[in-house]
Amino acid sequence: MDEGYPLSLNEWKLIDPFLSGVDSVVNGKGAYESKTYFFKGSQYMRYDWASDQIENGVQDIGSWRLEFNVNPVPSIDANTLPFSNKVTENKDAFLAKVIELSAKLLIPPKWLMGIMNSESINHRIVNANGGAVGLIQFMPATVKKVF
């Protein structure tokens, strides 16, 4: 990690409604490596590192098309996931929850499964000061809304 980071939310050039906090943050990859995406509720905004500016203001999440993922996520079912043995007793309930969450997030279920699969393979260890838990970094407020 670079010296002086991570920055507090007050040091980013965020605009309302993001000034009071965010639900999630994703760094872009590939062609979008210099971008950071901030999410709150049903809205997001894209920050450009090169210009040190928010691009295009606040956007509805329905317009977000996983821009940082230039390759489509392959179809995956629960039986092929590295952690599928953790859900053997409730596999139907697990898949139903994935489908329900995907509908709320306005993304195909295979994308959510692909993210879980990708993050499980990489075995990332993340210590979030904001209270986020899990490989996908669900913030407490997001979990309360979803579950």
* Host domain of residue 95: 74-147
Q: For residue 122, what pLDDT is reported?
A: 52
Q: For residue 131, what pLDDT is reported?
A: 52
Residue 130's Cβ-count burial label (10 Å; 0-12, 13-18, 19+) is middle
Residue 71's Cβ-count burial label (10 Å; 0-12, 13-18, 19+) is exposed
Residue 81 sits in the same domain as residue 47: no
Q: For residue 146, what pLDDT is reported?
A: 55
Residue ending a domain, among 71, 92, 110, is 71
Mean pLDDT per block of 10 residues along the chain (147 residues) reads 70 80 78 82 86 89 55 46 57 75 73 64 52 53 58
Residue ending a domain, among 39, 71, 103, is 71
Q: For residue 70, what pLDDT is reported?
A: 35
Q: For residue 133, what pLDDT is reported?
A: 46
Count of domains in the chain? 2
Rounded CA separation 87/79 (Å): 9
Q: For residue 87, what pLDDT is reported?
A: 61
Residue 86 sits in the same domain as residue 65: no
Rounded CA separation 1/78 (Å): 34
For residue 18, give Cα distances in angstroms to 27, 45, 115: 16, 9, 24
